[in-house]
Amino acid sequence: MKNFLAQVCFLTMATTAMSCGGDDGVALTVNVVTSLVPQAEFSYVRIENLAPTPLYTPSDVLDTVRRDAVFGQDFAHGVRVAAFDNMTP
């Protein structure tokens, strides 16, 4: 149940900020803001960087970041959980 809540948390409450990185591609940071309590209501956040394909398959995953949730982290105000550099725009 905790893992499901983390996925729901990410899908519904994640905020992203993109900035141009010139010719090197795009940088993407992922910040999660939620009222869920870390370790009590979710145990980790997983972010997958997917290849731009029409249908999702497991082989489309280019990179995965898993960030353990620690009790006391301030997810209510936002926690940076991932950063990807040189993404293709």
What is the pLDDT, as a whole number, of residue 70? 93
Backbone φ/ψ region at 25: left (φ over 0), alpha (ψ -120 to 50), beta? left
User: Looking at the whole model, is its pTM more than 0.75?
Assistant: no
Structure tokens at 24: 């090197």
Read off the pLDDT band of 3 (50, 70, 90).
Answer: low
Q: What is the pLDDT of residue 77?
A: 93
Between 4 and 50, the more confident residue is: 50
**CB-CB contact of 72 with 11 (8 Å):** no
Q: Which two tokens stand for residue 16?
A: 């992203």
pLDDT of residue 24: 65
Residues 6+ apart with CB under 8 A from 21: 27, 85, 86
**What digits encode the pLDDT tens for the residues 59-74?**
788 888 999 999 999 9
Q: What pLDDT does residue 75 have?
A: 93
Residue pLDDT, tens place only, 12-69: 333 333 444 455 678 888 899 999 999 999 999 998 887 777 777 777 888 889 999 9
The whole-angstrom separation of Cα 51 and Cα 84 is 13
